[in-house]
Amino acid sequence: MRPLTLCAMALLLSPAAAAQREMTPRGIWESPGGNTRLRIAPCGPNICGRVHWASERAKADAARAGHDQLIGMQLFEDFRRTGPNSFEGRVFVPDLNRSFDGRLTMTGPRSIDVRGCLAGRLGCRTQSWTKVG
C-alpha cells in the first residue's frame, strides 16, 4: 500500500510543481495580424526577438520609415527576466522608427502579451502574440 500512496501524492503534487515552473518564450511567434513573425532567442544573458518572416505589407510599412531590410531586424531588445513568466526590455517599432519600454508576459505555453509604453505607463499598447509550430 505504501508505494501506491507515494505515487498518488506525486500525481497530486505534480500540477502544482508544473505551475511554478518558469516558462520561456524561445521560439517563433506571430503578431496578432499575422504580418510579422519573430524568432525569440538568447542574446547574451537575456533574450531578443528578430524578424524571421514579414508580409509584403509589413515590409512596405518599414520601408516607408526608411528600413529597407525588415527580415533579421531586432525588434525585442535585451529583455531580462523579471519574474517566472515576465521579461522587460525595449521594443523597436520599425514603421514609427522608435524604441519603447516593453514588457513581455507569458500567458500560456503558446501565447505572450507584449506591452510597449512611451514613457513609464503612458501611451501603452498591448498585443497578444501566438507561438508558431
Contacts of 97 (CB under 8 A, 6+ apart): 65, 66, 67
Cell of 57: 505589407
Q: Would you list the domain boundaries of the chain?
A: 23-131
Q: What is the pLDDT of residue 14?
A: 41
Q: What is the pLDDT of residue 120?
A: 66
Residues of the chain falling short of pLDDT 50: 1-19
CATH, range 23-131:
2.40.128.520
Q: What is the pLDDT of residues 12-43, one digit of tens each?
A: 344 444 445 678 899 999 999 999 999 999 99
| 24 exposure class (CB count in 10 Å sphere: 0-12, 13-18, 19+) | middle
Angstrom distance (rounded) from CA 11 to CA 14: 5
| 131 exposure class (CB count in 10 Å sphere: 0-12, 13-18, 19+) | middle
Q: What is the pLDDT of residue 34?
A: 96
Q: What is the pLDDT of residue 30?
A: 98
pTM of this prediction? 0.80
Q: What is the pLDDT of residue 118?
A: 76
Q: What is the pLDDT of residue 9?
A: 34
Contacts of 56 (CB under 8 A, 6+ apart): none
Place of cell 510597449: 116
128 CB-side CA count, 13 A: 5
